[in-house]
Structure 1
């Protein structure tokens, strides 16, 4: 039976909110790293790397959950341009959640630095050390982070538009499960 659902699966909601917190934290940690040359920079970097890898792993899980569970449909009266914007923005969000950690990993590899997740766990380099490649990837990582920040803001604005103005259940479908 393929009955429509009005809410996202509990695991999908858990992953959404967990990753939302992680991504917001990452954006602030990244901004703090870029603005600091103190000993705090190293501390922030040691938070940033494992959090990025955790996001990379969770986005793979999240994609599996997304394609293996039913999603609530968008409202039938939603204009076609908004349906397209919703679909494209979700593709962009998933792509950035995957690409940004990979670019970060490649950037650290190109810098010739180890990608340490803890004092005893080191990831393999995915690129050889190369200063030119490092410089390119550092800029790419920065610009992609800005794009992610903008996309998150637009996602939040759209969610609030659905929740506060349209009141069409889109925001509620991610906030909580079915009423008992």
Structure 2
């Protein structure tokens, strides 16, 4: 049976929905930051502050749930073969990048939950500091890799995760 030429529609939808939600929370943490600042200074957050913090938290929880679903779909579905038009070491870099990306996609919401709902300050430090920075770096590498695949190696990697 020939290998699939593109990711399935559920795989692509999960990928892009998660990307949007992750970018939303990475780019707009202000509601959570304002809530944290008020709590830290002994002030009472307003209902609007709590709602803003909750939006950030709920988006993070959605990312966590979608990541679980995405892994289930990934392990139960075929995926396209890796491109043959690049050096072998790049396959290893891509694999490590994807594993690290998944680990961070789980670490971010879990550390956020530990901070917001359980009050674990060390998790909050990790969430807003090293995990967030690492996630940004790996996301940029992921995007860069997709663009290099598309424009330099002229592979269909980007196409099969977009239009199929």
Aligning the two structures, in what range does the TM-score lie when normalised by the shorter sequence?
0.7 to 0.9
Distance 1:165 1:78, change over 3 A: closer
Which residue in 2 is equivalent to 1:85? 93
In the TM superposition, residue 41 of structure 1 has moved relative to its aligned partner by: 5.1
**1:29 and 1:44 in contact (8 A); partners too:** no
Uncovered stretches (5+) of structure 2, i.e. residues with no partner: 39-45
In the TM superposition, residue 32 of structure 1 has moved relative to its aligned partner by: 6.3
Q: 2:54 aligned with 1:68, yes or no?
A: no
Which residue in 2 is equivalent to 1:135? 121
Structure 1 length normalisation: TM-score? Answer: 0.77
Structure 2 length normalisation: TM-score? Answer: 0.84
Which residue in 2 is equivalent to 1:59? 67
Distance 1:176 1:66 in 2: 18
**2:85 and 2:155 in contact (8 A); partners too:** no
Query: Could you say what the CA RMSD is over the residues aligned between the two structures, in angstroms?
Result: 2.0
Residue correspondence of structure 1 range 1-180 to structure 2 within 5 A: 2-30=1-29, 33-34=32-33, 42-111=50-119, 134-142=120-128, 143-177=130-164
